[in-house]
Structure 1
Amino acid sequence: MILRVFRSKMVKNLAVQQYFCTTALNVTPKDGLFDEPVSIKISGLDKNQSITLRSRIQSKENEVFISHGYYTADVNGCIDVENTPSSGGTYSGIDPMGFLASMVPAPGSKPSLRLAAKDVTSPHLVEISVLDGQLSLDELSTDKLKPLITNTINRWYMKKDYQRLEINEGRIRGTMFFPSDNSRKPGVIDMFGSSGRIKESRAALLASRGFTTLCLPYFSYSDLPKDLKDINFSYFKEAVEWFSHHTNVKPGGIGVLGISKGAELAMLMATHLSQVKCVVNVNGSPYYSLTDLMEGENVFFKGICVEISQVKVVGDSYGLKNAYNYKPENFIPVWKSQAKILIIAGEDDHQINPNSHDEFYTHCPDDKKHQIIIKKYPGAGHLIEPPYTPICKTSFTRLGGIMLYNGGSYPGHSMAQVDSWKDIIQFFKNNLNTLQSQL
């Protein structure tokens, strides 16, 4: 009888011990915006146990992005990703958001995959797993592995108290994002580059940070022109006029955020349209590139063509960085306006020469230089996007149907995205806070 009781206690104690040794994965917040930092803590491991932290996103189109970091538990069997360095994987060192920012297309995928939300009203589901030992990216891409524990978090681009509205007003096409209570917020138009179509992720995320945004496509979408060469400046004039007077936009002027070709157009909008009070130019050239821009039947702004002999071939893609033979008279004279300009430039951009921004600034009249801020980032490539977006080193352009080499390396590119996003938000808040009374 005594022996039976002793064995029973041993079994219970062993069960309790096994319970406390069970691996736990605490990820907070489980539900947050894409640009929001995340805390990851692991406990219940063996002393000095080596593990792989794998993160994975699978889109509705079955596009898979993956990252991994190697960690070693402390004497208590714990890992705090915020304070514990990764010894290898897709990221290394102390990098709390490396699990998301260092993601790459899974082995076997197209290397040109770009993480974006096809539907910003639904979150990215990020699957985070702890696996015993150090595993390679190929090993981590199989479904046969049995993680010690897995947790899933939601990463949103649009706050739940915001609305998404498709726009079909006159010639204007796009999507608006604004608070569900219909309150007025500073207005920002958001535009992308020569890949065309519509990309809503950034506009939704920017709106979620306190703005009303208009995601404005300008070709290869809906009934808009099919080719970049056929776009017309009158379209942008109409969009600015309509948006600046919208009931969800604070009066006093709007801002424009553009990347690549969208940034060139943003600079021209600020030059010629007084409603545009400030512009963020993300790796857009200070001249108009590729084709002439028309207004009506006339040439509105002369474009700089590509010198084919100066195009750099990188694998199956092309770099246009040194392929434009521009002169000072080709610069977009945004200094003729009162608009404030923030230029975000990647020093590893293979599409736009970052030195062209310095030449532009030098050419700008001295009494107008105070309107222009230039920020350069080492290691950053062409597509500087919101924080923790994985690097997209090659992308498709509809002008010629070729792949462009964007450049950028980890972690420099990721650091640029985090830092510039804070500046972009603050820049718009500073320069669009013109409403004297709430209407």
Structure 2
Amino acid sequence: MMLQASKVRQLCPNYFSSGNIQMMMTSASKDVQVSVTPASCLHDESVQIRAEGLAPNQDVTLYCSMKDTRNVHYLSIAHYKADDSGQVDVNTMESLGGSYASLFPMGLIGTLHPAPSEYKFTRFFKRDVVNPNILELSVYDGHLTEEEVCAPECQKPLASTQHERHYMGPGVQRIPVRYGKVRGTLFLPAGEGPFPGVVDMFGTAGGLLEYRSAQLASRGIASLALAFFAYDDLPKSLEEFNISYFEEAVEFLLKHEKILKPNVGAVGVSKGGDLVLSLATHIPEVKAGVWINGCNANVQSAFNLRDSVFPGLEFDLGKVKIEDGVMDCFETVNNPADYPETIIPIEKADANFLFLVGNADRNWKSVMYCDQAIERLKKAGRNNYEVHRYDLGHLARPPYSPFCISSYHKLISGPILWGGVAKPHICAQEEAWETTLAFLFKNLTNMKGKL
């Protein structure tokens, strides 16, 4: 069963107790307080942020900051005017400026971005999912800029508090995987199981990313975060793929005593999206595929099947546009319709598909790729799919991950444009996450799951 947020706190009150997070009062006035409720929670949960004890109609700046595992400093600010009772409630009041404006309850967390002193094209990666993100929230007198808040001579905050956001819920297990050639990490939900299982994949950044798998497990879905290049003893570059590697990953999942038999799902974003389509098409045990801003063709690298090879859809780097030092690669991937030999024959899949499409994706033409995939299924008389279109950029992640419109990409050795606008992107991630969980539970357990 999926762990509801309220149930987690009921079963493990000490883990998410506000007593674990102590209020730090740093101002001369002990009457001012800033609070986050709950003080500690799972990363996909929303919170309520308040400042109290202020002067009526006082102008204040709310400041949120945290550091990632590389010690990069991220921050966000928002300008508010206290009400007649001297209170600011972020859930009901509009920001007057800063990192965002208007009513945006999770804006302080969702708009966290590199501080002025950091390289601005830095993308937040959570490598250490065992430990939570620790955020500090402060309230300052007046409407300050980011530079003013970060300056050494800046006034002390009127009040501060800390807030913890956990990727792994109580009882979730993290198990490094070296099974045959398979490299990754398995995340198991708390309890005896069995649990629905998925293979979780990312894109051309390579390596191993675990944060989505940790969050899936915290919601009752066992997830194998699967590396497929640039990790451990795997190939260092995207040269080619072999179906046998992914078959071995599925075999590993289904051999585990806590995985619900006889089928699994697959989740993937970007390059991981077309891998999802390939797994669902060519591996009979994969019955549910979540495609996130991917392609309908096999992109870049040859994909070796048992008795044939799918060539990779290539890039035309001459179509790269550069503006303000950022590469816009929207036009670079060739149109799959012009290279039908690269298109994945998803109409042959004995699986259900969920297509999560970012209308604001500026990295790939995800809208076009999805339309081509659906057209292919319709022509074959298939109705085994759902399509959900959102105002998302390319980097569609579980809720409240710091929004990133562009960042450095090591494959191209420069900053790349991902697309999206902060508020609609962050809000869309909430709905897309609920849709993903519901789809996986429905298709792997016939249960409906939601946050």
Q: Which TM-score applies when normalising by structure 1?
A: 0.90
Q: Which residue of 1 aligns with 2:6?
A: none
Change (3 A) 1:369 1:299: closer
Alignment check: 8 A CA contact 2:296 2:336 kept: no
Which runs of structure 2 are paired with 1:69-88 in the superposition (5 Å)?
69-88=78-97
Ranges of 4+ aligned residues in structure 1 off by more than 6 Å:
18-21
Deviation per residue, 1:13-34 (Å, 9 max, x gap) = xxxxx99971122211111011
Please list the CA deviations of residues 194-253 of structure 1 after superposition, one character each: whole Å capped at 9, or x if unmatched: 000011111101110111110001000000111111432221111112212321211131
Alpha-carbon deviations, 1:95-136, whole Å to 9, x = none? 111010011111121222222322111010000000000000
Matches within 5 A, 1:212-291: 212-291=222-301
Contact 2:69-2:128 at 8 Å conserved across structures? no
**What is the aligned-residue identity percentage?**
33
Show the 5 A alignment for 1:353-392: 353=365, 354-366=367-379, 368-378=381-391, 380-392=392-404
Partner of 2:374, secondary structure, is helix
Amino acid at match of 2:293: N
Q: Which amino acid aligns with 1:374?
A: V
User: Deviations 1:320-378 (Å, cap 9, x if unpaired)?
Assistant: 32221321734312121121111111112122112231132123234644212222223
The answer to whether the Cα contact below 8 Å between 1:192 and 1:260 also exists between their aligned partners in 2 is yes
Matched, 1:52 2:61: yes
Residue 240 and residue 72 in structure 1: after superposition, are their counterparts in 2 closer, same or farther (change >3 A)?
same
Q: What displacement does 1:281 show?
A: 0.7
Structure-1 residue corresponding to 2:5:
none
**Structure 1 segment 38-437 matched on structure 2, within 5 A:** 38-145=47-154, 146-295=156-305, 300-323=309-332, 324-327=334-337, 329=340, 330-353=342-365, 354-366=367-379, 368-378=381-391, 380-433=392-445
- Paired with 2:28 and 2:416, the residues of 1 have a C-alpha distance of 53
Distance 1:355 1:292 in 2: 22
Structure 2: 5+ residue runs without aligned partners? 1-26
Are residues 112 and 20 of structure 1, via their aligned partners in 2, closer, same or farther at CA, if it must alter by over 3 Å? closer
Cα deviation code 1:47-70 (max 9, x no counterpart): 100100000011242211101111
In 2, the alpha carbon distance for the partners of 1:314 and 1:377 equals 25
Q: Who wins on radius of gyration, i.e. which is larger?
A: 1
Q: Following the alignment from structure 2 to structure 1, what is the Cα–Cα distance between the partners of residues 204 and 69?
A: 25
Give the secondary-structure state (helix, strand or coil) at the position aligned to 1:139. helix
CA contact (8 A) 1:21 1:45 kept: no
d(CA) in 2 for partners of 1:375, 1:420: 8
State how 1:11-50 maps to structure 2 within 5 Å. Answer: 22-50=31-59
Determine the C-alpha separation between the residues in 1 that align with 2:31 and 2:410.
52
The aligned amino acid for 1:386 is P
Distance 1:37-1:400 versus aligned 2 partners, 3 A rule = closer
CA contact (8 A) 2:327 2:415 kept: yes
Equivalenced residues, count = 416
* Aligned-pair Cα RMSD in Å: 2.1
Contact 2:328 2:416 in 1 (8 A): yes
C-alpha distance in 2, partners of 1:60/1:306?
Answer: 33
SS in 2 for 1:432: helix
Report if aligned partners of 2:393, 2:419 keep a CA contact under 8 Å in 1. Answer: yes
8 Å contact kept, 2:67–2:74:
yes
Question: Unmatched 5+ residue regions in structure 1?
Answer: 1-17
User: C-alpha displacement at 1:93, in angstroms?
Assistant: 1.0
SS in 2 for 1:228: coil
Give the C-alpha shift of residue 72 in structure 1: 0.7
Distance 2:399 2:308 in 1: 38
Q: Secondary structure of 1:365's match?
A: helix
Does the residue aligned with 2:322 lie in a helix, a strand or coil? strand
Structure 2 CA distance, aligned partners of 1:299 and 1:260?
A: 24
How far is 1:283 from its partner? Answer: 0.4
* 325-334 vs 61-70, which moves further: 325-334
Which piece of structure 1 moves more, 426-435 or 120-129? 426-435
Change (3 A) 1:20 1:148: closer
Q: Aligned-pair distance for 1:178? A: 0.7
- Structure 1 residues 154 and 143: CA distance shift in structure 2, 3 A: farther
Q: Indicate conservation of the 8 Å contact 2:75/2:115, yes or no.
A: yes
* Maintained 8 Å contact 1:225/1:231: no
- TM-score scaled by structure 2? 0.88
Cα distance between partner residues in 2 of 1:294 and 1:398: 26
Q: Secondary structure at the match of 1:327?
A: helix
For 1:206, what is the secondary structure of its paired residue?
helix
Q: Alignment partner of 1:174: what SS?
A: strand
